[in-house]
Amino acid sequence: MDIKTRIEQRTAKLDEMRSVLIAEKRDPNKSEMQKADGILAEIRELELKPATENILKPDPQADHTNRSTKKMDYENINENEIRVMGADRSYRAMFYPGKADAEKLDDGGFRDAGEFLDVLVSGRFDPRLQQRAAMVQGTPSLGGFSVPTQFVSDWMDDSLAAEVTRPRCRVYPMKSESIKIPGWNASDFSSGSYAGLKMEFLGESAVGSKQTGKLRQITLNANEGAIYVDASLSLVANGVNFESQLRSAMIAAIGYGIDRHTIGSAGSGAGCPLSVLNSACLISISGETGQASGSVVFSNIKKLYARQLNPQSAVWLVNATTIPSLLELSITGGTSASHVPVLNESNGEFTMLGRPCIITPHAPAIGSASCITFVDFSFYALGLRSEVVLDMTDSHRWTQRERSFRARISIDGQISLNTAITPENGDTLSPVTSLAAI
């Protein structure tokens, strides 16, 4: 007997008991109450069982090599919940949450990504490729060929592990040219309120104060980012594994480009994401009196940590040129100095004051502003379109016997706070604290 039938039978019993009591115009006795409670408990258990089994029990037919047996039940989570949770930033989870991991997405009729790139690179007519002729956001002149979603999923997910921003921020799948998301529009918490909301304790018959939360609207636009590469026709025609090399380069370039514009100075916010280092809420920490130019001292690190809004969730972003100074930090006392092991390494991963430390070229060199930044990426909102479009042309490089390739992807992003926060006690705080130029 299936679960649905059993629930229907239990419900019928409750209805029968209810009709008897109504007909006899009396309250149920102790025995009848216990029976009813037992039936209700069975119904509740049966109603919860399917969802629990789907999440916790693995499919005995599935291949679970290198996978956790505890799998998220995406079919029971709507799009907004995925966005808020940020539980899985993979391409499949964002745009195809109802698809099982083993279920293939659109492959355009190609055997694999290698065959797709091979056909694209060859310049030969292929009906499968012609069907993918792209009109990006309704603009035919942009042309190109839409990459099958199965290959986009593979490329984007292969890039994810090496990226800094996307695995840590809030990612919003964009299904139109722009999306609007809420952000708190409040900076002064000094009165004890949180973004306009304040807890009250009311005595008997006391009247509560009406409160209004302070929200602002953030718009993420599908700004188009492009990756260009030229290759000689000889290399295209005769190069060993050229298609594989092109695929690897594109995967790396997509991830690098996203991080470059969401972390570093390249992210101006003008037709591209607004980066962490250009965010309006950034708090810049000045150097110490008498501090040598192009140096880092222990007090810099302490102050960056102290002004972080949420240090338990933040990560350090540092340029490689800061490593020698960080490894030699010391505290001067009297006539001697004691080494302070601020930067620590374990299994190839660094931490600083207990928080992950990421060495990235997107942070400026030592001595420049923001060579060390402490950032909580949960405040960063990243919008991502599902489409990736590839173009190829020989025209403008014809005299050099080169072929040009271009990959296009649409993204936007920014920190959800537009200013630093003044707490009830202490100095201003921010999800982005950064060392000023020294």
Query: Which pLDDT tens digit goes with each residue over 289-334?
Result: 999 999 999 999 999 999 999 999 999 999 999 999 999 898 876 6
Amino acid symbol at 36 = A
Which residues does 334 contact at the CB level (< 8 Å), separation at least 6? none
Q: Which CB contacts under 8 angstroms, 24+ apart, belong to 131-138?
A: 132/108, 134/387, 134/389, 136/224, 136/387, 136/389, 136/408, 137/177, 137/222, 137/410
pLDDT of residue 236: 58
pLDDT of residue 164: 94
CA 354 to centroid of chain Cα atoms: 22
3-state secondary structure of 332: strand
Higher pLDDT, 377 or 242: 377
What is the average per-residue pLDDT within 167-178? 88
Q: How far is CA 35 from the centre of its chain?
A: 50
From residue 302, give the alpha-carbon distance in Å to each of 16, 87, 355. 70, 31, 13
- Distance (Å) of CA 298 to CA 295, 302, 341, 373: 10, 6, 10, 14
CA 387 to mean position of chain CA atoms: 17
Spatial separation of the C-alpha atoms in residues 350 and 364, rounded to whole Å: 19
∠ CA 353-356-358 to the nearest 5 degrees? Answer: 120
How many whole angstroms separate alpha carbon 434 and alpha carbon 437?
10
Nearest Cα to Cα of residue 409 among 207, 212, 262: 262
Q: Residue 207 — pLDDT band, cuts 50, 70, 90?
A: confident
Q: Tokens 């604290």 — which residue?
A: 433
385: which residues sit within 8 A by CB, 6+ positions away? 174, 222, 409, 410, 411
pLDDT confidence bin for 124, thresholds 50/70/90: confident
3-state secondary structure 201-213: CCCCCCCCCCCCC
Q: Is the pLDDT of residue 80 over 70?
A: no
- Domain boundaries defined on the chain: 3-59, 81-199+210-438
Q: Which letter does DSSP use for residue 267 in this model?
A: -
Residue 312: name the closest of 358, 263, 376, 373 by CA.
376
* pLDDT (0 to 100) of residue 19: 62
CA gap 287, 436 in Å, rounded: 7
Assess whether pLDDT exceeds 60 at residue 63: no
Mean pLDDT in residue range 359-385: 95
Q: Is the pLDDT of residue 188 over 50?
A: yes
36, 17 Cβ separation under 8 angstroms: yes
Q: Which two three-digit tokens encode residue 380?
A: 């960063």
pTM, two decimals, is 0.70
Residue 244 has pLDDT above 80, yes or no: no
